Amino acid sequence: MALESQRVESVSEDGKRSIKSFVLRGSRLAPYQKEALELYGEQFVIPFDDTRMLSFAEIFENDNPVIVEIGFGMGHTTERIATQMPFTNFLAIEVFLSGFTKLLSAVGRKSLTNLRLMRFDAVEVLEHMVAPSSVAGFHIFFPDPWPKKKHHKRRLIQEAFARLLMDKLVPGGYIYCVTDWEEYGQQMLDVFDSIEGLHNPYGTYAPSRSWRPTTGFEQKGLQKQHRIHEVWVEKNRG
Ligand SMILES: C[S@@+](CC[C@H](N)C(=O)[O-])C[C@H]1O[C@@H](n2cnc3c(N)ncnc32)[C@H](O)[C@@H]1O
């Protein structure tokens, strides 16, 4: 079987969920990407398999809390946070091939054993492979804003997805979303507000976490003088 199909999952538009939060562009592997997969794929990449639930304890060989990052882009932030927090495990999910192989290469070279990657639609990964009450936190930094009104339905942060996140969180677990799109930030606040079982300890936008490095997309937003909006909500404990 070709390495690409073994290790790099592709997402078809004819799956169950017809409206996707992303558009896949050319997914041919360049030589350096093949090399990253050959060297590090076995150890750090988890293939999509909708017949099995992930056992984080088996994957990471410890019981440390697990953070799931959705849409890591080029992965610089992911790598830095995972390096800063060796006693936290990270499952980083992205569909964009170039960023995926970039992070894989960095993780492999640094032997970041607290991080695993998946290249698949995060919604399907959560639905089929992640057990309820098993995730300590979600990082969703600068999700695609889909600014045109006719594309708003593609936005990731919507009620059904927020419920899915809530279901996967451990009690006390958090969802941390950041955007430079004011009106999407308001949508995030409203959507999370509407979900029973979640609460926003700040009542509005949250302060920035000191451990969150500036992301690639954030940099672009800042260059355009966009304000950054941080949303932090938690799952109720009782
Ligand atoms: C605007 S970029 C932000 C990337 C990065 N977090 C940053 O701040 O630089 C959003 C990323 O989310 C990814 N993405 C969108 N929907 C996704 C999904 N359902 N599953 C996995 N990744 C997704 C896209 O491929 C894209 O790379």
For the chain (length 238 residues), average pLDDT per consecutive 10?
39 56 70 91 95 97 98 98 98 95 96 97 97 98 96 96 98 98 97 98 97 97 97 95
**Tell me, what's the pLDDT at 28?**
76
Verify whether ligand 1 is closer than 6 Å to residue 124 (CB atom). no
**CB-ligand 1 contact for 70 (6 Å cutoff):** yes
* Domain limits, the chain: 65-235
Tokens (6 digits) for 54: 């992930």
* pLDDT score at 2: 35
Give the pLDDT score at 32: 87
Q: What is the pLDDT of residue 21?
A: 76
Of all protein residues, the one whose alpha carbon is nearest to atom 5 of ligand 1 is 73
Structure confidence at residue 142 (pLDDT): 98
Is 142 close to ligand 1, i.e. is its CB under 6 Å away?
Answer: yes
Counting from 1 in the atom list of ligand 1, the atom nearest the Cα of 218 is: 8
Locate the ligand 1 atom nearest the alpha carbon of residue 144 and give its number: 1
Amino acid 25: pLDDT: 62
- 69 CB under 6 A from ligand 1? no
Q: Clarify whether 144 is annotated catalytic.
A: yes
Under CATH, to which class is 65-235 assigned?
alpha beta
Looking at residue 33, what is its pLDDT?
87
The answer, yes or no, to whether any atom of ligand 1 lies below 6 A from the CB of 22, is yes
Which residue among the candidates 63, 144, 180, 193 is catalytic per the annotation? 144
State the pLDDT at residue 198.
Answer: 98
**CA nearest ligand 1 atom 11, residue:** 71
Identity of residue 73: G
Tell me the residue type at 30.
A
pLDDT at 10: 44
pLDDT value of residue 19: 77
Residue among 80, 93, 95 to mutate when testing ligand 1 (max atoms within 8 A of CB): 95
217 C-beta closer than 6 A to ligand 1: yes
Which atom of ligand 1 lies at the shortest distance from residue 20's CA? Answer: 19
